[in-house]
C-alpha cells in the first residue's frame, strides 16, 4: 500500500479528487492540518463523488504526528526545488508520497524534515509554476503503483 500525504491542503475539490485517487488505487490519503476547509464541505464531497466510503483517509494534527505514524516508511517529498525526477525513484510497498499545498508547495521545514528520504520533481515545461495538486499526486501514485505491479488492480 502506498501513502499519499497532502500537507495543509487548501482547496476542497483537490482533496475530494485525491479521495477518489485513493479509492481507485488502494492508497491511503493522509491530510495534515490545518486544512483550508472542513471535511463535510459540499465541494469536497462533490469532487469525491461516492468514493468517500471506499477510501482510507486519515487526518493528522501536524506533520510530525503524520510522519511518526508512518515511520519507518520512506518519505518522498515532491518539489520543484530538485533535479531528481519521480521516475528515477524505485518505489516500494509502504512508501510515502508527500505534496504541499496550493499554490506554494512544501515549505522548507517540510522539505528538510528528518523523516524525508528524498526530494522528487515532476518535469514541466520551463516557466510553469506547478501542476494541479491532485494531478501531481496521481502522476506519482500511478508510477509507484506501476512499479509495484499494480497490486489489487484489475
**Interior angle at CA 102, CA 12 and CA 118, nearest 5:** 115
- What is the C-alpha to C-alpha distance for residues 79 and 85, in angstroms, rounded to an integer? 10
130 marked among binding-site residues: yes
11 marked among binding-site residues: no
Coil, strand or helix at 105: coil
Contact 5, 96 (CB under 8 A): yes
Listed in sequence order, the residues at least 6 apart from 84 whose beta carbon sits closer than 8 Å to its beta carbon are 118, 119, 120, 121
100 marked among binding-site residues: yes
Listed in sequence order, the residues at least 6 apart from 126 whose beta carbon sits closer than 8 Å to its beta carbon are none
Contact 83, 119 (CB under 8 A): no
Instruction: Give the residue ranges of the annotated binding site.
Output: 100, 122, 130
Instruction: Give the residue ranges of the annotated binding site for S-adenosyl-L-methionine.
Output: 100, 122, 130
Amino acid at each position: 500500500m502506498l501513502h499519499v500525504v497532502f500537507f495543509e491542503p487548501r482547496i476542497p475539490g483537490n482533496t475530494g479528487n485525491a479521495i477518489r485517487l485513493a479509492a481507485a488505487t488502494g492508497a491511503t490519503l493522509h491530510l495534515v492540518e490545518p486544512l483550508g476547509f472542513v471535511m463535510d464541505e459540499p465541494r469536497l464531497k462533490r469532487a469525491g463523488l461516492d468514493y468517500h466510503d471506499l477510501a482510507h483517509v486519515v487526518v493528522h494534527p501536524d506533520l510530525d504526528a503524520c510522519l511518526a505514524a508512518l515511520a519507518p516508511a520512506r518519505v518522498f517529498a515532491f518539489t520543484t526545488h530538485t533535479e531528481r525526477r519521480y521516475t528515477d525513484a524505485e518505489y516500494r510497498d509502504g512508501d510515502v508520497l508527500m505534496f504541499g499545498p496550493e499554490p506554494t508547495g512544501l515549505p522548507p521545514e517540510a522539505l528538510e524534515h528528518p523523516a524525508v528520504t528524498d526530494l522528487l520533481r515532476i518535469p514541466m515545461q520551463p516557466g510553469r509554476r506547478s501542476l494541479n495538486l491532485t494531478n501531481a499526486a496521481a502522476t506519482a501514485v500511478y508510477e509507484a503503483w506501476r512499479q509495484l505491479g499494480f497490486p489489487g488492480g484489475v
